[in-house]
Protein backbone atom coordinates (compact mmCIF):
# COMPACT_ATOMS: atom_id res chain seq x y z
CA UNK A 1 0.00 0.00 0.00
CA UNK A 2 2.69 2.41 1.07
CA UNK A 3 4.82 1.39 -1.88
CA UNK A 4 1.98 1.92 -4.28
CA UNK A 5 1.35 5.34 -2.86
CA UNK A 6 5.07 6.10 -3.13
CA UNK A 7 5.06 5.13 -6.78
CA UNK A 8 1.97 7.23 -7.48
CA UNK A 9 3.65 10.20 -5.82
CA UNK A 10 6.82 9.66 -7.86
CA UNK A 11 4.80 9.44 -11.07
CA UNK A 12 3.08 12.67 -10.06
CA UNK A 13 6.42 14.40 -9.63
CA UNK A 14 7.58 13.05 -12.97
CA UNK A 15 4.43 14.25 -14.76
CA UNK A 16 4.93 17.66 -13.25
CA UNK A 17 8.56 17.63 -14.33
CA UNK A 18 7.57 16.66 -17.85
CA UNK A 19 5.02 19.48 -17.96
CA UNK A 20 7.61 21.94 -16.69
CA UNK A 21 10.14 20.82 -19.28
CA UNK A 22 7.48 21.19 -21.98
CA UNK A 23 6.75 24.76 -20.85
CA UNK A 24 10.49 25.48 -20.95
CA UNK A 25 10.62 24.12 -24.49
CA UNK A 26 7.72 26.34 -25.56
CA UNK A 27 9.34 29.37 -23.94
CA UNK A 28 12.70 28.64 -25.58
CA UNK A 29 11.00 28.18 -28.94
CA UNK A 30 9.17 31.51 -28.68
CA UNK A 31 12.31 33.28 -27.54
CA UNK A 32 14.22 31.75 -30.43
CA UNK A 33 11.65 32.96 -32.95
CA UNK A 34 11.60 36.46 -31.48
CA UNK A 35 15.39 36.80 -31.34
CA UNK A 36 17.73 37.54 -34.18
CA UNK A 37 19.18 40.37 -36.22
CA UNK A 38 15.92 42.24 -35.62
CA UNK A 39 13.93 41.68 -32.44
CA UNK A 40 10.32 40.90 -33.18
CA UNK A 41 7.66 41.17 -30.46
CA UNK A 42 5.74 37.99 -29.68
CA UNK A 43 2.46 39.59 -30.77
CA UNK A 44 3.86 40.01 -34.27
CA UNK A 45 5.01 36.39 -34.24
CA UNK A 46 1.47 35.36 -33.47
CA UNK A 47 0.10 37.61 -36.24
CA UNK A 48 2.54 36.18 -38.74
CA UNK A 49 1.21 32.69 -38.12
CA UNK A 50 -2.49 33.51 -37.75
CA UNK A 51 -2.94 36.38 -40.21
CA UNK A 52 0.02 36.54 -42.56
CA UNK A 53 0.20 39.89 -44.37
CA UNK A 54 3.43 39.57 -46.36
CA UNK A 55 5.32 42.32 -44.51
CA UNK A 56 9.07 42.05 -44.07
CA UNK A 57 8.79 40.93 -40.46
CA UNK A 58 6.14 38.35 -41.23
CA UNK A 59 8.21 37.00 -44.09
CA UNK A 60 11.26 36.80 -41.83
CA UNK A 61 9.30 34.81 -39.27
CA UNK A 62 7.54 32.45 -41.64
CA UNK A 63 10.36 31.88 -44.10
CA UNK A 64 13.41 31.83 -41.85
CA UNK A 65 12.90 31.69 -38.11
CA UNK A 66 10.00 29.30 -37.74
CA UNK A 67 11.47 26.68 -40.09
CA UNK A 68 14.77 26.94 -38.27
CA UNK A 69 13.34 26.43 -34.80
CA UNK A 70 11.03 23.71 -36.05
CA UNK A 71 14.00 21.86 -37.53
CA UNK A 72 15.75 22.16 -34.19
CA UNK A 73 12.74 20.76 -32.32
CA UNK A 74 12.27 17.87 -34.74
CA UNK A 75 15.94 16.94 -34.93
CA UNK A 76 16.50 17.28 -31.19
CA UNK A 77 13.61 15.11 -30.11
CA UNK A 78 14.26 12.54 -32.84
CA UNK A 79 17.93 12.20 -31.95
CA UNK A 80 17.32 11.92 -28.23
CA UNK A 81 14.56 9.33 -28.54
CA UNK A 82 16.50 7.27 -31.05
CA UNK A 83 19.49 7.33 -28.72
CA UNK A 84 17.36 6.10 -25.83
CA UNK A 85 15.97 3.32 -28.01
CA UNK A 86 19.46 2.27 -29.11
CA UNK A 87 20.73 2.13 -25.55
CA UNK A 88 17.76 0.00 -24.55
CA UNK A 89 18.09 -2.38 -27.50
CA UNK A 90 21.83 -2.97 -27.19
CA UNK A 91 21.79 -2.72 -23.41
CA UNK A 92 24.99 -0.69 -23.70
CA UNK A 93 25.61 2.83 -22.39
CA UNK A 94 28.00 3.57 -25.27
CA UNK A 95 25.32 2.98 -27.89
CA UNK A 96 23.92 5.82 -29.97
CA UNK A 97 22.21 6.12 -33.36
CA UNK A 98 25.72 6.48 -34.76
CA UNK A 99 26.33 2.86 -33.81
CA UNK A 100 23.81 1.79 -36.45
CA UNK A 101 25.94 3.56 -39.02
CA UNK A 102 23.35 6.34 -39.39
CA UNK A 103 25.78 9.25 -39.29
CA UNK A 104 28.50 7.47 -41.25
CA UNK A 105 26.01 6.42 -43.93
CA UNK A 106 24.50 9.88 -44.28
CA UNK A 107 27.92 11.56 -44.39
CA UNK A 108 29.23 9.16 -46.98
CA UNK A 109 26.17 9.54 -49.19
CA UNK A 110 26.36 13.33 -49.03
CA UNK A 111 30.10 13.39 -49.70
CA UNK A 112 29.73 10.97 -52.60
CA UNK A 113 26.97 13.01 -54.21
CA UNK A 114 28.92 16.26 -53.87
CA UNK A 115 32.07 14.71 -55.27
CA UNK A 116 30.28 13.22 -58.25
CA UNK A 117 27.67 15.87 -59.04
CA UNK A 118 28.86 19.06 -57.34
CA UNK A 119 27.44 20.87 -54.35
CA UNK A 120 24.03 21.60 -55.86
CA UNK A 121 21.72 24.25 -54.49
CA UNK A 122 20.62 25.11 -50.99
CA UNK A 123 23.41 23.33 -49.22
CA UNK A 124 21.14 20.72 -47.73
CA UNK A 125 20.94 17.16 -48.75
CA UNK A 126 17.72 15.82 -47.28
CA UNK A 127 17.03 12.73 -49.31
CA UNK A 128 20.62 11.82 -49.98
CA UNK A 129 21.37 11.89 -46.26
CA UNK A 130 18.19 10.05 -45.35
CA UNK A 131 18.84 7.37 -47.95
CA UNK A 132 22.45 6.89 -46.92
CA UNK A 133 21.49 6.67 -43.27
CA UNK A 134 18.71 4.17 -43.88
CA UNK A 135 20.83 1.96 -46.14
CA UNK A 136 23.71 1.86 -43.66
CA UNK A 137 21.39 1.07 -40.77
CA UNK A 138 19.65 -1.70 -42.69
CA UNK A 139 23.04 -3.15 -43.60
CA UNK A 140 24.08 -3.11 -39.95
CA UNK A 141 20.85 -4.75 -38.92
CA UNK A 142 21.11 -7.49 -41.53
CA UNK A 143 24.77 -8.17 -40.76
CA UNK A 144 24.15 -8.05 -37.04
CA UNK A 145 21.32 -10.56 -37.04
CA UNK A 146 22.90 -12.71 -39.73
CA UNK A 147 22.70 -16.41 -38.89
CA UNK A 148 22.13 -16.11 -35.20
CA UNK A 149 18.63 -14.67 -35.84
CA UNK A 150 19.24 -11.57 -33.79
CA UNK A 151 20.03 -13.58 -30.71
CA UNK A 152 22.93 -11.50 -29.52
CA UNK A 153 23.27 -7.76 -29.19
CA UNK A 154 27.03 -8.10 -29.53
CA UNK A 155 26.41 -9.04 -33.17
CA UNK A 156 24.78 -5.72 -33.92
CA UNK A 157 27.40 -3.83 -31.92
CA UNK A 158 30.25 -5.31 -33.93
CA UNK A 159 28.37 -4.99 -37.22
CA UNK A 160 27.72 -1.35 -36.41
CA UNK A 161 31.36 -0.67 -35.61
CA UNK A 162 32.43 -2.42 -38.81
CA UNK A 163 30.00 -0.63 -41.13
CA UNK A 164 30.62 2.73 -39.48
CA UNK A 165 34.40 2.48 -39.71
CA UNK A 166 34.16 1.24 -43.29
CA UNK A 167 31.98 4.16 -44.37
CA UNK A 168 33.96 6.68 -42.33
CA UNK A 169 37.15 5.45 -43.96
CA UNK A 170 35.60 5.84 -47.42
CA UNK A 171 34.44 9.34 -46.52
CA UNK A 172 37.86 10.44 -45.31
CA UNK A 173 39.50 8.79 -48.32
CA UNK A 174 37.41 11.08 -50.54
CA UNK A 175 37.84 14.16 -48.38
CA UNK A 176 41.61 14.09 -47.98
CA UNK A 177 42.01 14.13 -51.77
CA UNK A 178 39.15 16.44 -52.70
CA UNK A 179 39.43 19.85 -51.11
CA UNK A 180 36.34 21.31 -52.83
CA UNK A 181 34.08 18.64 -51.42
CA UNK A 182 35.61 19.06 -47.98
CA UNK A 183 34.89 22.77 -48.16
CA UNK A 184 31.31 22.18 -49.31
CA UNK A 185 30.52 19.58 -46.71
CA UNK A 186 32.32 20.63 -43.56
CA UNK A 187 29.63 22.95 -42.21
CA UNK A 188 26.96 20.33 -42.85
CA UNK A 189 29.12 17.75 -41.05
CA UNK A 190 29.26 19.94 -37.98
CA UNK A 191 25.48 19.81 -37.71
CA UNK A 192 23.41 22.90 -38.40
CA UNK A 193 19.80 24.03 -38.64
CA UNK A 194 20.64 27.28 -40.37
CA UNK A 195 18.71 28.07 -43.55
CA UNK A 196 16.23 25.21 -43.33
CA UNK A 197 12.94 25.69 -45.18
CA UNK A 198 9.39 24.74 -44.35
CA UNK A 199 9.36 22.35 -47.32
CA UNK A 200 12.33 20.48 -45.90
CA UNK A 201 10.70 20.26 -42.50
CA UNK A 202 7.46 19.08 -44.02
CA UNK A 203 9.15 16.37 -46.04
CA UNK A 204 10.95 14.89 -43.04
CA UNK A 205 8.40 15.55 -40.30
CA UNK A 206 6.11 12.60 -41.16
CA UNK A 207 8.95 10.12 -40.64
CA UNK A 208 10.06 11.71 -37.41
CA UNK A 209 6.53 11.97 -36.04
CA UNK A 210 5.81 8.37 -36.98
CA UNK A 211 9.05 7.33 -35.32
CA UNK A 212 8.27 9.34 -32.18
CA UNK A 213 4.82 7.89 -31.72
CA UNK A 214 6.01 4.35 -32.45
CA UNK A 215 8.87 4.85 -30.01
CA UNK A 216 6.53 5.98 -27.26
CA UNK A 217 4.23 3.02 -27.95
CA UNK A 218 7.22 0.68 -27.74
CA UNK A 219 8.27 2.00 -24.34
CA UNK A 220 7.10 -1.05 -22.39
CA UNK A 221 8.87 -3.48 -24.69
CA UNK A 222 12.01 -1.37 -24.62
CA UNK A 223 11.97 -1.48 -20.84
CA UNK A 224 11.96 -5.28 -21.05
CA UNK A 225 14.64 -5.38 -23.78
CA UNK A 226 16.86 -3.19 -21.65
CA UNK A 227 16.84 -5.79 -18.88
CA UNK A 228 19.06 -8.00 -21.00
CA UNK A 229 18.56 -11.19 -22.94
CA UNK A 230 17.94 -13.66 -20.12
CA UNK A 231 15.43 -11.55 -18.23
CA UNK A 232 13.59 -10.62 -21.42
CA UNK A 233 13.35 -14.26 -22.44
CA UNK A 234 12.03 -15.35 -19.07
CA UNK A 235 9.36 -12.66 -19.35
CA UNK A 236 8.27 -14.28 -22.60
CA UNK A 237 9.24 -11.46 -24.93
CA UNK A 238 9.73 -12.17 -28.62
CA UNK A 239 13.01 -10.30 -28.80
CA UNK A 240 13.70 -10.61 -32.51
CA UNK A 241 10.40 -8.89 -33.34
CA UNK A 242 10.74 -6.03 -30.89
CA UNK A 243 14.38 -5.51 -31.64
CA UNK A 244 13.60 -5.20 -35.34
CA UNK A 245 10.73 -2.84 -34.61
CA UNK A 246 13.04 -0.71 -32.48
CA UNK A 247 15.65 -0.57 -35.23
CA UNK A 248 12.99 0.62 -37.69
CA UNK A 249 12.04 3.35 -35.22
CA UNK A 250 15.68 4.40 -34.91
CA UNK A 251 16.07 4.55 -38.68
CA UNK A 252 12.99 6.75 -39.04
CA UNK A 253 14.05 9.06 -36.25
CA UNK A 254 17.78 9.35 -36.65
CA UNK A 255 17.60 9.17 -40.43
CA UNK A 256 15.14 12.05 -40.43
CA UNK A 257 17.23 14.02 -37.96
CA UNK A 258 20.47 13.62 -39.86
CA UNK A 259 18.67 14.60 -43.05
CA UNK A 260 17.43 17.80 -41.42
CA UNK A 261 20.35 18.86 -39.28
CA UNK A 262 23.40 16.86 -40.27
CA UNK A 263 25.28 14.30 -38.18
CA UNK A 264 24.96 15.62 -34.63
CA UNK A 265 26.47 13.01 -32.36
CA UNK A 266 26.01 14.51 -28.94
CA UNK A 267 22.24 14.64 -28.53
CA UNK A 268 21.52 10.99 -29.24
CA UNK A 269 24.30 9.79 -27.00
CA UNK A 270 24.00 12.09 -24.05
CA UNK A 271 20.40 13.25 -23.62
CA UNK A 272 19.15 9.74 -22.73
CA UNK A 273 21.94 9.52 -20.14
CA UNK A 274 21.01 12.89 -18.68
CA UNK A 275 17.40 11.78 -18.43
CA UNK A 276 18.32 8.44 -16.91
CA UNK A 277 20.59 10.04 -14.35
CA UNK A 278 17.92 12.57 -13.49
CA UNK A 279 14.75 10.48 -13.29
CA UNK A 280 15.74 6.81 -13.17
CA UNK A 281 15.65 3.82 -15.46
CA UNK A 282 11.95 3.50 -16.36
CA UNK A 283 11.69 3.69 -20.15
CA UNK A 284 8.06 4.76 -20.05
CA UNK A 285 9.40 8.03 -18.63
CA UNK A 286 12.79 8.10 -20.29
CA UNK A 287 11.29 8.31 -23.79
CA UNK A 288 8.97 11.32 -23.32
CA UNK A 289 11.58 13.12 -21.23
CA UNK A 290 14.19 12.45 -23.92
CA UNK A 291 11.87 13.72 -26.66
CA UNK A 292 11.23 17.04 -24.95
CA UNK A 293 14.68 17.35 -23.40
CA UNK A 294 16.43 16.72 -26.71
CA UNK A 295 14.29 19.33 -28.47
CA UNK A 296 14.93 21.80 -25.66
CA UNK A 297 18.69 21.26 -25.78
CA UNK A 298 18.94 21.77 -29.54
CA UNK A 299 16.65 24.84 -29.56
CA UNK A 300 18.60 26.46 -26.72
CA UNK A 301 21.94 25.52 -28.27
CA UNK A 302 20.93 27.04 -31.60
CA UNK A 303 19.66 30.18 -29.88
CA UNK A 304 22.83 30.47 -27.79
CA UNK A 305 24.99 30.02 -30.87
CA UNK A 306 23.22 32.96 -32.52
CA UNK A 307 23.25 35.15 -29.41
CA UNK A 308 26.77 34.53 -28.17
CA UNK A 309 28.71 34.16 -31.38
CA UNK A 310 26.61 36.62 -33.41
CA UNK A 311 26.57 34.26 -36.32
CA UNK A 312 23.62 32.70 -38.09
CA UNK A 313 25.81 29.82 -39.18
CA UNK A 314 27.39 28.76 -35.93
CA UNK A 315 26.98 24.97 -36.04
CA UNK A 316 24.44 23.71 -33.56
CA UNK A 317 26.39 20.44 -33.33
CA UNK A 318 29.12 22.37 -31.52
CA UNK A 319 26.90 24.38 -29.21
CA UNK A 320 24.86 21.35 -28.07
CA UNK A 321 28.06 19.80 -26.78
CA UNK A 322 29.28 23.10 -25.39
CA UNK A 323 26.16 23.58 -23.27
CA UNK A 324 25.05 20.02 -22.74
CA UNK A 325 28.37 18.45 -21.80
CA UNK A 326 29.13 20.39 -18.60
CA UNK A 327 25.65 19.62 -17.26
CA UNK A 328 26.05 15.99 -18.24
CA UNK A 329 29.47 15.80 -16.59
CA UNK A 330 28.09 17.22 -13.39
CA UNK A 331 25.25 14.69 -13.39
CA UNK A 332 27.51 11.77 -14.24
CA UNK A 333 29.94 12.70 -11.51
CA UNK A 334 27.26 13.04 -8.88
CA UNK A 335 24.77 10.37 -9.81
CA UNK A 336 26.44 7.56 -11.72
CA UNK A 337 27.91 4.41 -10.26
CA UNK A 338 26.18 4.48 -6.91
CA UNK A 339 23.07 2.60 -5.82
CA UNK A 340 19.94 4.43 -6.98
- Please, what is the minimum distance in Å from the beta carbon of residue 335 to another protein? 9
**Among the candidate windows 40-48, 71-79, 165-173, 289-297, which touches another protein by CB under 8 A?**
165-173
Examine residue 22 and tell whether it contacts another protein (CB under 8 A): no
Q: How many of the chain's residues bind another protein (CB under 8 A)?
A: 56
Q: How far apart are CA 247 and CA 253, in angstroms?
A: 10
- Please, what is the minimum distance in Å from the beta carbon of residue 66 to another protein? 25
- Please, what is the minimum distance in Å from the beta carbon of residue 301 to another protein? 10
Nearer Cβ to another protein (50/179): 179
Nearer Cβ to another protein (33/299): 299
Nearer Cβ to another protein (21/159): 159
**Site map 177..216 versus another protein, x via CB under 8 A:** x-x--xx--xx-xxx-------------------------
CB 145 within 8 A of CB 155: yes
Examine residue 307 and tell whether it contacts another protein (CB under 8 A): no
Examine residue 321 and tell whether it contacts another protein (CB under 8 A): yes
Report angle CA 278, 282, 283 to the nearest 5 degrees. 105
Residue 172 CA from chain centroid, whole number: 24
Q: How many CB atoms within 10 Å of residue 198?
A: 15
Please pick, from the candidates 125, 207, 266, 296, the single residue that binds another protein as defined by CB under 8 A: 266
Q: Per CB under 8 A, which of residues 26..55 are in contact with another protein?
A: none
Please report, as ranges, the residues that interact with another protein according to CB under 8 A: 92-95, 99, 143, 146-148, 154-155, 157-159, 161-163, 165-166, 168-170, 172-173, 175-177, 179, 182-183, 186-187, 189-191, 265-266, 269-270, 273, 315, 317-322, 324-326, 328-329, 332-333, 336-337
Amino acid sequence: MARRRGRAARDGVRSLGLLLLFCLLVAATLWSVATGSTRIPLATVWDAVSSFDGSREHLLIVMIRLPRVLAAVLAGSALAVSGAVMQAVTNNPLASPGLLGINAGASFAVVLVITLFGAGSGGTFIWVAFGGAALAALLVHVLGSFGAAGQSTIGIVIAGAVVASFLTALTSAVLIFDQNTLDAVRLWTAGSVSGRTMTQNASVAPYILAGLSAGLLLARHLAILSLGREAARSLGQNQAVWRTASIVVVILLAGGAVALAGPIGFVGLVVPHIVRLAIGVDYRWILPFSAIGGAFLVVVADLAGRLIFHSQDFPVGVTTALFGAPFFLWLARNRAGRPA
